[in-house]
Each structure stands twice: as C-alpha cells, then as structure tokens.
Amino acid sequence: MTTVHVSASREYDVLIGRGLLDRLGEVVKSCTKAQTAVVIAGDRVFPLYGARAMVSLEAVGLRTLSYVIPHGEQHKTLETYGALLRFLSEKRLTRTDVLIALGGGVTGDLTGFAAATYQRGIDFVQVPTTLLAAVDSSVGGKTAVDLPTGKNQVGAFWQPAAVLCDPELMKTLPEDEFRCGTAEVVKYGMLGSAAFFESLEQHGVKDRLEDVIRTCVEMKRDIVGEDEYDRGRRQVLNLGHSFGHAVEACSRFTILHGQAVAIGMALITRAAVKRGDCPQDALDRLLALLERFGLPTGTDYGADELFAALGTDKKRSGSTMHLVIPEDIGRCRIEAMLLPAVRELLRLGGVK
Ligand code: NAD
Ligand code: GLY
C-alpha cells in the first residue's frame, strides 16, 4: 500500500492499494468520530461493491446505512442532492457522522457537496471506483452538482477525511470508462511531467495501475497544496477542459467526460502549434498517445456551437477566459484571453 499525504485546509491521506476496500471501516474509525456511516453509490456500483463496504463498516461497530442513486452525469443534479439531504436528515445523521462516496466522479462530486452542506459540513470519505476518480476527482476537494445551464455550477471546496483507492475495483469498469480515465492520466503528463508522459508512451497504464495512480495523485497533491481554491496554479488541471466541457455539453453528455477532455487537449494543442507556442512534435506525440489509448482527438461540432456552450464555463470571468496553453510535453501556461481570441483559438484548433 502507498500513502500520499495531502496538506490543504484539511490534512488527509490518500491510501492506494489492492484489497483496501475491506479496510474501509478501520480507515473511517481512524480519521472520523462517526457513529453512523452512509454508503452512497450509483445503481451500477452498489451491487458490485456495496455489501463489502457495509460489512467492513459494520465490523468496526458503525451503524451503517446505504443510499443508492441512479448512475450517470444526468443525475448529478440539485434534485438528487436534495433527496439525499432529506434522507440524511430523516435518518438523523449528526455533524460527527460520515458519508462514504463509493463510485466515480459523479458519486464523489455529489456526495462531497452533500457533505459540505449538510448541517454546514460533515466528514466524507472518497472510495473511487473509476480510474478518473482515482487520479483526479477524489482528491482536492472540488465538489459540485450541475444545472441545466452547465456543469458543476453549484458546489463547494470541501476536502475528504480520507481517500481509499483500491485499484482492484477498476477491474469491472467498462472499457470506455477506463479509457476516459486514461485521458486525465495523459493530461498530467502533458501539463507537468515529460518523464511521466514518456513512461505512458513506453508502458501504458493497465499493467502498472498503482504506480500511475500514485504519480497522478502526487502531482495533484502538489498543485492543490499550493492553490487549494483554484485562484492560480490549480487552473493547469483544466488543460483540455474548457473546450472539452463545451464538447460534452454540445453532445448532451453522450460524449463522456474523459473523451471530451481528450478532444479538448487535442484542439488546444493544435491551436498552440499554429500560434507558434508549442512544437509540432509535442502535438504528434499527444495525438499518437490519445489514439493508442482509444480516445477521440477531433469533433464535428462547429465553432458557433462550441463557443455558445462555453458561456457558463467557470474559467470565464466577464469578457475573459483563462485557458491552459501547452508549451511542450510536460509544460503549460495559463493565459487570460478575450472571448474573440478564444473563438479564434477554436478555429486554429481545427474546428469549422
Ligand atoms: P461516473 O462517475 O459517471 O462513472 C462512470 C460510469 O462507470 C458510471 O456509469 C458508473 O456507474 C460506472 N462505474 C463506476 N465504477 C465502476 C466500476 N468499478 N465497475 C463498473 N462500473 C463502474 O464518471 P467518472 O468518469 O468517474 O467521473 C466523471 C465526473 O467527475 C464528471 O461529473 C466530472 O465533472 C467529475 N470530475 C470532477 C473532478 C473534481 O475535481 N471534483 C475532476 C474531474 C472530473
Ligand atoms: N479536476 C480539476 C481540479 O481538481 O482542479
């Protein structure tokens, strides 16, 4: 087992290791004062891992409840959130109890936001079951739900009490969902480590899952430790996400988050090459790696549609947007741009 310690407004450990799910109770006991734990999971994940999580929590004497939500981004809403809060209140959860987010980024974001706001904040523990959640969304304390006008429009920064990451749980992940996680993994190499990017080119992800997760979590720990509230450096984690969120929104979420991030990274890197900010070789290597991981690198949506979908992006403030511009493999910068320049960037990225 590997432990990565995160220092933010709250200190906590990210535990990474096979078989850790059976130690969930022990971990919850060691980092919270809970008497009741509520396992929150999607309707696909709960039948797979819910019982094991509950047995582990019950074994350490916790009153253990479960709450199952419908799976999918379309349920990361105020309605699902409101129903969960009502359940917690009906079951008389107190401020010292704990929520367990067992699932991918949708479950983690929703449960985290409920934890941030129920009785002005209670503990939660992240148990990521997707690669994307393991390397990104379970760490760093961004929690949110969507509005019909855009993703993650309502949320809070609220750090977990612990993250328990068991790579065994990813064995049941559909191939498409695993690929989505690899898009975020490539993002880390692209934004901050040429050596890590090269290791992905040489060895891929699947056969060394624990190492890959650890490397990404360590990179995220460093960034979050420096800029927890996303006022500066943390924005590099949005590489590919501005255009990616627009693609996701245009597709009405039929294109998955990780696929959209891959498209977004390809678009912004093509544009960076055209502007002379990034060498052609970096683009060639990025496209080759994304394609090797089975990820898309282009879109048929037009510049008008994508630009309109950027309207509610949180990286926008007034008439400017902060975009992450790749300068090479392993290096990027944040650039504030006026909206017409963002539109031009889409065109340079190859969008019609
Ligand atoms: P997800 O949570 O929707 O999970 C993907 C699918 O896989 C779901 O259908 C789920 O039921 C299924 N699934 C999950 N684990 C499984 C397993 N082990 N076996 C079988 N099926 C399993 O999607 P995701 O890609 O994990 O997360 C995407 C979400 O994360 C988006 O809402 C995005 O906005 C958010 N996100 C948040 C942050 C953050 O910092 N908070 C960062 C990145 C992404
Ligand atoms: N995934 C973006 C962030 O955590 O900042």
Domain coordinates in residue numbering, the chain:
2-172, 180-348
Ligand 2 atom index nearest CA of 139: 4
Cα of 268 vs centre of ligand 1, distance in Å, is 24
pTM recorded for the entire structure? 0.96
- Nearest CA, atom 2, ligand 2: 237
- Nearest CA, atom 43, ligand 1: 137
Distance CA 8, CA 238 (A): 19
Q: Ligand 2 pocket, 237 CB below 6 A? A: yes
Nearest to 161 by CA among 91, 112, 227: 112
Which H/E stretch holds residue 8?
Answer: none
Q: What CA–CA distances, in Å, run from 271 to 50, 126, 267, 274, 277?
A: 45, 36, 6, 5, 9
Q: What CA–CA distances, in Å, run from 321 to 151, 222, 303, 316, 324?
A: 16, 24, 16, 4, 10
Q: Which one of the ligands is nearest to 155 CA?
A: 1
Backbone angles phi, psi at 100, to 5 degrees: -115, 115
Which residue among 73, 132, 146 is best mutated to probe the pocket of ligand 1, counting the most ligand atoms within 8 A of its Cβ?
132
Taking the chain (352 residues) in runs of 10, the rounded mean pLDDT of each run is 97 98 98 98 98 98 98 96 98 98 98 98 98 98 94 96 98 97 98 98 96 98 97 96 93 92 98 97 98 97 91 69 96 95 93 90
CATH class of 180-348: mainly alpha
Cα of 263 vs centre of ligand 2, distance in Å, is 18
> Which position has the token pair 């992006």?
313
The answer to whether 2-172 and 180-348 have equal CATH topology is no
Q: Which one of the ligands is nearest to 73 CA?
A: 1
**Predicted pLDDT at 253:** 85
Q: What average pLDDT is seen over the chain?
A: 96
CATH class of 2-172: alpha beta
